[in-house]
Structure 1
Amino acid sequence: MKTILVTGGAGFIGSEIVRQLDAIGKYKIKVLDCLTEQIHGKEPDTSYLYSFIKGKCEFIRGDVRNFDVVDNAIDGVDYIIHLAAETGTGQSMYMINQYNEVNIMGLSNIFQAISLKRKKHTVQKIILSSSRSVYGEGKYECPNCGIIYPRSRRAENMAHGDFTIYCELCNEPLKLLPTTEDSLTRPNSLYAFTKLAQESMIQTMCHAMDIDYTIFRFQNVYGTGQSLKNPYTGILSIFSTLLLDNKDINIFEDGKESRDFVHVTDVATAVIRSIEESRTNGEIINLGSGTGTSVIEIAKTLKAIYNSSSKLHITGDFRVGDIAHNVADITKARKLLQFTPSVSLKDGLTDFCRWVLGQDTDNSRYEQSLSEMEKSGMFIRHS
């Protein structure tokens, strides 16, 4: 029986991968996770996500920054699904060392451990969870200049309520295109930089060590189990906790910024299919729905489902480094993995909200997170 190590396997995406692997029943499953408070709360042993994987795997509580822990965890492992990472673009811009240590040095420890075992290691393939954030603003078309990969929007324009993306060459407004895997990468946050650095490390070291790999660039993954305690990622969780308390919602920018939401079960299924699918070896693959949905649409949908009395305020506030839009081209995923999103956004949101209603919610850290970003200059309130 082959053995799979899932780093970060007690997290949102990892726990769903473990659930599906357990249901398949053909692999021995190991999980390495530090059960961070930001995700699991002050009593992680009782957290929803950790409880979700209990009995389904060999669980190792430890940090990917600890070499000895990683070295022991990869013993006898055939496949590694590397999910362990700090996430959140805003937080990464002022917790720089933390993101570099976890995201870059954590992966470095895996390769160091493999290297020291020399020919005795059993690792055949590493699957990396990267992010669409490596594209920056993504792919656009200019009526005059053709395909453009714009840099980050200017803070001075956004401060005056202009959230449009313009061509850097002729200053014309740009038309959004689905982002393909061969698009130019332009990270505009420290988080995105660390994910791109992970990709480069995977490509370099796996080639040198004769290990297969697949890199997935996840879009906005959502679904049941998404952390309701982390105020730095996941607008569905942030909006839900506020709506259930009937607190008003601060809709950043003009509310028209869009994201590509893909359900966690679809993401997990694709990742698992790639384990022994040789056609994915050496490939970078987008995983998304291929459809963009605006933030204001999401807020209105959630408000209706919860029957909340919260008011939705489009404030013009913004976070430095946030992208305007996000839509993936998923042609490669369809071709190599027969990937077709099976959960519609409507059904997925309804199911998510039903789950949230059965959980303890806490929005006390939301304003604190905004205050931290504001102090660092990464969150700007519209005057």
Structure 2
Amino acid sequence: MEEKVLITGGAGFIGSHLADELIKHGYKVRALDNLSEQVHGKDCERPEYLHDEVELLIGDVRNPEDVARALEGVSYVFHFASMVGVGQSMYEIREYTDVNNIGTAVLLEALIKNPVKKLVVASSMSIYGEGLYKNPQGKVETVQERPLEQLKAGDWELHDAEGNVLQPVPTPESKTPTLSSVYALSKYDQERLCLMVGRAYNIPTVAMRFFNVYGTRQALSNPYTGVLAIFASRLLNNNAPMIFEDGHQQRDFVHVRDVALACRLAMENDEANGQVFNVGSGNNYTIQEIGQRLATVMDKTNLLPEITGKYRVGDIRHCYADISLASEVLGFHPQVDFNDGLEELANWLEGQIAYDRVSEASAELAARGLTV
């Protein structure tokens, strides 16, 4: 008999790609999703991109009845349902805490009554805060948030006690979390709750810390989604991408199909149980470079990124993944070349309509004193 897998948030960007990956490997998939307007638009219908074989239950992860119904006959659970976005989390505090923290608690109480073979929870690189750095002598250091006075002066980099600029290095899972936004706090809460309850009730559990995920099906009209989707929305509307600070901040961009692959491997590998894994590409790019490359593949080279020189509360300078643990334990090796991934994204974007809400989101943050 085919085993059934539940994906909470399974009609979304990452969840739908995971569904494709699981169905391709012989699993039956059920998705529980509330089809949030911010992600899916006003119509709130089953997304066209969702695989025909996915059984979609429209419901809320905070509702015990919806969760109990979704868990019937299920062998594995991926918990992806989440409010996403650092900036918005800093003022929609109750909503983020409710969906991310309470929703996870409701799911876990249901799993105590109906245990499954494995629970895999989506965590986030945002929990690290700043990535790891090394000083001019080569010693690795953890750093604190940059002081406000430094940011106001337009000094964006991290410094040691002597004032030397620190160089970023890949960040492993062993780095102590530094939670600099409500979103980051809620993702860490999801991760720890799942691992803690899983251990207590003998439900094998794995946490996957996603870095900057990109690819087709991203919510282009959501101004708090991933940076590549935000840039794409701007470019589709013939607006230049807006970049905070000086554009030289570095991130790790991983294709959504590689994320889906890593998640399936975590589900199928017993050695993964009880562990936390970075899911990234292992490469790093500056945000300015990303904006320029996307403009090029979208044939919008006249729209060069606009460097705002502003700082957004909760943002960090550099963070990119050390994926050696996922490589060793899961056998995870990213498959999608970044250039190929960008080309595929550009081709998909040609048929998309995006409402560019970046300016209004920026105005909202500024009005609340969340940009400097």
TM-score where L is the length of structure 1: 0.93
Cα deviation, residue 307, structure 1? 2.2
Matched with 1:368 is 360
CA 1:331 to 1:74, structure 2 compared with 1: closer, same or farther past 3 Å? same
Cα deviation, residue 124, structure 1? 1.7
Instruction: Give the Cα separation in 2 of the matches to 1:223 and 1:143.
Output: 37
User: Is the contact made by 1:77 and 1:122 (CA closer than 8 Å) also made in structure 2?
Assistant: no
Name structure 2 gaps, 5 residues minimum. none
Matched with 1:11 is 12
Taking the TM superposition and a 5 Å limit, the aligned residue runs for 1:62-141 are 62-115=59-112, 117=113, 121-141=114-134
User: Which of 312, 318, 321 matches 2:314?
Assistant: 321
Taking the TM superposition and a 5 Å limit, the aligned residue runs for 1:251-270 are 251-270=243-262
User: Is the contact made by 1:144 and 1:170 (CA closer than 8 Å) also made in structure 2?
Assistant: no
- Name which of structure 1's ranges 97-106 and 335-344 shifts more when overlaid on structure 2: 335-344
Instruction: Give the Cα separation in 2 of the matches to 1:57 and 1:249.
Output: 35
Is 1:193 aligned to residue 185 of structure 2? Answer: yes
Aligned CA-pair RMSD: 1.5
Instruction: Give the Cα separation in 2 of the matches to 1:245 and 1:123.
Output: 45
Matched with 2:265 is 273
Taking the TM superposition and a 5 Å limit, the aligned residue runs for 1:299-338 are 299-308=291-300, 309-338=302-331
Cα deviation, residue 170, structure 1? 4.2
Is 1:352 aligned to residue 345 of structure 2? Answer: yes
CA 1:145 to 1:297, structure 2 compared with 1: closer, same or farther past 3 Å? closer
Aligned residues: 370
User: Is the contact made by 1:161 and 1:253 (CA closer than 8 Å) also made in structure 2?
Assistant: yes
Question: Deviation digits for residues 167-225 of structure 1, max 9, x if unmatched?
Answer: 3x444321211101111111111111111111211121011100101111011000111
Q: Which amino acid aligns with 1:371?
A: A
TM-score where L is the length of structure 2: 0.96
Instruction: Give the Cα separation in 2 of the matches to 1:134 and 1:249.
Output: 26
Instruction: Give the Cα separation in 1 of the matches to 2:197 and 2:236.
Output: 47
User: Which of 150, 155, 165 matches 2:148?
Assistant: 155
Instruction: Give the Cα separation in 2 of the matches to 1:10 and 1:114.
Output: 21
- Match of 2:45, SS state, is helix
Instruction: Give the Cα separation in 2 of the matches to 1:170 and 1:75.
Output: 59
- Match of 1:45, SS state, is coil
User: Is the contact made by 2:213 and 2:254 (CA closer than 8 Å) also made in structure 1?
Assistant: yes
Q: Which amino acid aligns with 1:193?
A: L
Q: Identity over the aligned pairs, expressed in percent?
A: 39
Name structure 1 gaps, 5 residues minimum. none
Q: Which amino acid aligns with 2:128?
A: Y
Q: Which amino acid aligns with 1:153?
A: R
Instruction: Give the Cα separation in 2 of the matches to 1:312 and 1:231.
Output: 16
- Match of 1:228, SS state, is coil
Structure 1 segments, 4+ long, off by >4 Å, are none
